[in-house]
């Protein structure tokens, strides 16, 4: 099983059995924090832990728990000490992106971060439980009932399932006297704190830069953080077809913020070669997910040659109403707020699955500061009518022009050129030129008409050829439009 997911951590691989207990754990490590002594599984006082991800408040937790108790510099060790402290709701004190399994002689605890940034699956085997970060680890293994541990949930062999985190419900309309300027200024401060927190590492952290609003905001703030720390310029990474809008925009943003910019061009032939890799690692044949995963793969390959971790702009569309279909909710802020809350809860097996699987296939850690818990709490308190806002606030009708992510643009308008801050959003697979390159690739791979149906069938066939039991994979795949809240 560990061999099948060894791409997630090529630095070290260890397999360990817990003494006097029927527990075996394996871990493949990508060393980011505690690079010298952070090997896993971690064993202490009869307990054993494997963890994936990063605990960004580990320094604060060390101070609270007592530095003397720690044996390593690893952020993951804080999980063990929190558990042993017996503190009420100890799991809720972890701030970051993580999935872990913790074992004692008579107990197993497994959990996943609030939004499901990091994956974790559980299955039954021989009367016991078996866990893995990716579905491919189970392929060919005689297990039953594979299921994803939901975001913000915990499974305890002693106490059963528990949901320890619930996404706060989004606000709809502004109360009388709501101060938009104050809200936008505070949003900026919360966002800056999130980026700084998610840059904590013992290795250099770069940033994806598509040239769109979200990645540009993250890169601009990250550059400020690095310069304030006396470090060199931020490394940024952009990909696209020759002459694509994303490459041009990213180049302009990088020049504006003074980044150390890197870019790569891909072709239709590159897409043909990448499809089997993308679909195998993505663990999905969803057409939209595959399309957006292709440029992510090329960006990950470019970045991994320079850094081990990158910042991304994922989560901004779900928090601030950035998708095209959100414009249909402009006159129903309550439905929009509910839809944003719903979509945040489904990111784990759609966009976050794409980012995690594709970047980790290249042994690169992707970090998503827009999904910081403090930022989520604050963003959800901002009225939805300020996220998808009528350009003319008095034109409250279905035909009036609307601007997506209005409050985010307002909060960050001094960071970037005005033509970027206020331009309309382009999908990553469109702006990078992936759609056009993919059209050329599909024509060489599909006999007959090329349409969405034949494209989906091709992806399912490719997936079926790479797995012994592809039905398991397809059964777990998420879809982009599942259970949308209907607007008025």
| Residues 211 and 177 sit within 8 Å (Cβ to Cβ) | no
CB-based burial, 98-119: b 16+ in 10 Å, e otherwise: bbbbbbbeeebbbbbbbbbbbb
| Residues 48 and 16 sit within 8 Å (Cβ to Cβ) | yes
CA distances from 462 to 282, 285, 291, 301 (A): 12, 8, 14, 22
Calculate mean pLDDT across residues 160-187: 95
| Residues 259 and 235 sit within 8 Å (Cβ to Cβ) | yes
Q: Which pLDDT belongs to residue 19?
A: 85
Burial class (CB in 10 A: 0-12, 13-18, 19+), 348: buried
Burial class (CB in 10 A: 0-12, 13-18, 19+), 440: middle
**What is the pLDDT confidence band of residue 391, given thresholds at 50, 70 and 90?**
confident
**What is the pLDDT confidence band of residue 398, given thresholds at 50, 70 and 90?**
very low
Q: Which pLDDT belongs to residue 209?
A: 97
Calculate mean pLDDT across residues 220-228: 97
What distance in Å separates the CA atoms of residue 357 and residue 139, rounded to the nearest whole number?
Answer: 16
**What is the pLDDT confidence band of residue 20, given thresholds at 50, 70 and 90?**
confident
Q: Which pLDDT belongs to residue 214?
A: 96
Q: Which domains does the chain carry?
A: 3-163 (3.60.20.10), 180-476 (3.40.50.620)
> pLDDT: is 37 or 271 the higher one?
271
Comparing CA positions, the residue from 458, 448, 146, 433 lying closest to residue 285 is: 458
Average per-residue pLDDT for the chain: 92
Under DSSP, is residue 473 helix (H, G, I), strand (E, B) or coil?
A: helix
Calculate mean pLDDT across residues 79-86: 92
Token pair recorded at residue 316: 């901004």
Task: Count CB neighbours of 305 within 10 A.
Answer: 11
What distance in Å separates the CA atoms of residue 478 and residue 292, rounded to the nearest whole number?
Answer: 14
Residue 91 confidence (pLDDT) above 80: yes
Q: Which pLDDT belongs to residue 128?
A: 92
219 phi/psi in degrees, rounded to 5: -65, -40
Q: How far is CA 165 from the centre of its chain?
A: 17
Considering 31-45, 69-83, 129-143, 396-410, the range whose residues carry the highest mean pLDDT is: 129-143
| pTM summary value | 0.93
What pLDDT, in 10s, does the model give residues 203-216?
999 999 999 999 99
Q: Is 331 left (phi over 0), alpha (psi -120 to 50) or beta?
A: alpha
Burial class (CB in 10 A: 0-12, 13-18, 19+), 215: buried
What pLDDT, in 10s, does the model give residues 320-376?
999 999 999 999 999 999 999 999 999 999 999 999 999 999 999 999 999 999 999
99 phi/psi in degrees, rounded to 5: -145, 135
Q: Which pLDDT belongs to residue 392?
A: 60
CB-based burial, 155-194: b 16+ in 10 Å, e otherwise: beeeeeeeeebebeebbeebeeeeeeeebbeebbebbbeb
Task: Count CB neighbours of 214 within 10 A.
Answer: 24
Residue 482 confidence (pLDDT) above 90: no
Residue 119 confidence (pLDDT) above 70: yes
75 is in an annotated binding site: yes
What distance in Å separates the CA atoms of residue 208 and residue 482, rounded to the nearest whole number?
Answer: 28
| Residues 444 and 424 sit within 8 Å (Cβ to Cβ) | no
What distance in Å separates the CA atoms of residue 325 and residue 257, rounded to the nearest whole number?
Answer: 31
**What is the pLDDT confidence band of residue 428, given thresholds at 50, 70 and 90?**
low
What distance in Å separates the CA atoms of residue 122 and residue 134, rounded to the nearest whole number?
Answer: 10
What pLDDT, in 10s, does the model give residues 289-310?
999 999 999 999 999 999 999 9
Token pair recorded at residue 426: 């382009």
Residue 457 confidence (pLDDT) above 50: yes
Residue 425 confidence (pLDDT) above 70: no
Token pair recorded at residue 327: 């414009």
End-to-end Cα spacing for the chain: 48
122 is in an annotated binding site: no
Q: Which pLDDT belongs to residue 426?
A: 57
Q: Is the dihedral of CA 375, 378, 384, 390 positive or negative?
A: negative
Contacts 24+ apart (CB under 8 A), 22-25: 22/128, 23/48, 23/103, 23/108, 25/49, 25/50, 25/101, 25/103
Residue 118 confidence (pLDDT) above 60: yes
């Amino acid at each position: 099983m560990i061999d099948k997911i060894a791409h997630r951590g090529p630095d070290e691989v260890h397999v360990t059995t817990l003494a006097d207990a029927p527990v075996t754990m394996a871990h493949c490590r990508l060393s980011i924090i505690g690079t010298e002594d952070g090997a896993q599984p971690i064993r202490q006082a009869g307990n054993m832990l494997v963890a994936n991800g990063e605990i960004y408040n580990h320094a604060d937790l060390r101070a609270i728990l007592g530095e003397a108790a720690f044996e390593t510099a690893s952020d993951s060790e804080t999980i063990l000490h929190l558990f042993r402290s017996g503190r009420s709701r100890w799991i809720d004190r972890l701030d970051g992106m993580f999935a872990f399994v913790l074992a004692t002689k008579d107990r197993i605890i497994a959990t996943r971060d609030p939004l499901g940034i990091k994956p974790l699956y559980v299955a039954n085997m021989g009367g016991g439980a078996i866990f893995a970060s990716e579905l491919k680890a189970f392929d060919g293994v005689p297990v039953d009932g594979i299921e994803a541990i939901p975001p913000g949930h915990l499974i305890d062999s002693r106490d059963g399932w528990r949901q320890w985190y619930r996404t706060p419900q989004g606000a709809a309309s502004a109360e009388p006297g709501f101060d938009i300027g104050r809200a936008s200024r505070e949003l900026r401060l919360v966002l800056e704190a999130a980026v700084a927190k998610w840059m904590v590492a013992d290795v250099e952290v770069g940033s994806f830069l598509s040239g769109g609003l979200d990645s540009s905001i993250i890169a601009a703030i990250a550059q400020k953080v690095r310069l304030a720390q006396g470090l060199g310029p931020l490394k940024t990474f952009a990909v696209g077809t020759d002459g694509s809008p994303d490459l041009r925009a990213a180049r302009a943003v990088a020049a504006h913020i003074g980044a150390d910019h890197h870019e790569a061009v891909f072709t239709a032939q590159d897409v043909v070669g990448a499809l089997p890799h993308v679909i195998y690692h993505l663990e999905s044949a969803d057409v939209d997910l595959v399309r957006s995963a292709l440029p992510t793969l090329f960006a990950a390959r470019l970045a991994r040659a320079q850094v081990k971790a990158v910042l991304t702009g994922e989560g901004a569309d779900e928090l601030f109403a950035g998708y095209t279909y959100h414009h249909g909710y402009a006159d129903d802020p309550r439905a929009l707020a509910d839809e944003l809350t719903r979509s945040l809860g489904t990111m784990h097996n759609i966009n976050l699955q794409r980012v995690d699987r594709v970047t980790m296939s290249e042994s690169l850690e992707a970090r998503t500061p827009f999904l910081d818990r403090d930022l989520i709490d604050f963003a959800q308190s901002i009225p939805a009518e300020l996220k998808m806002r009528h350009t003319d606030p008095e034109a409250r009708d279905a035909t009036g022009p609307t601007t997506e992510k209005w409050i985010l643009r307002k909060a960050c308008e001094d960071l970037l050129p005005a033509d970027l801050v206020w331009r309309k959003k382009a999908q990553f697979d469109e702006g990078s030129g992936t759609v056009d390159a993919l059209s050329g690739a599909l024509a060489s791979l599909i006999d007959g008409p090329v349409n969405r149906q034949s494209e989906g069938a091709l992806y399912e066939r490719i997936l079926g050829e790479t797995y012994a039991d592809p039905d398991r994979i397809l059964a777990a795949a998420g879809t982009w439009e599942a259970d949308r809240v209907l607007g008025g």
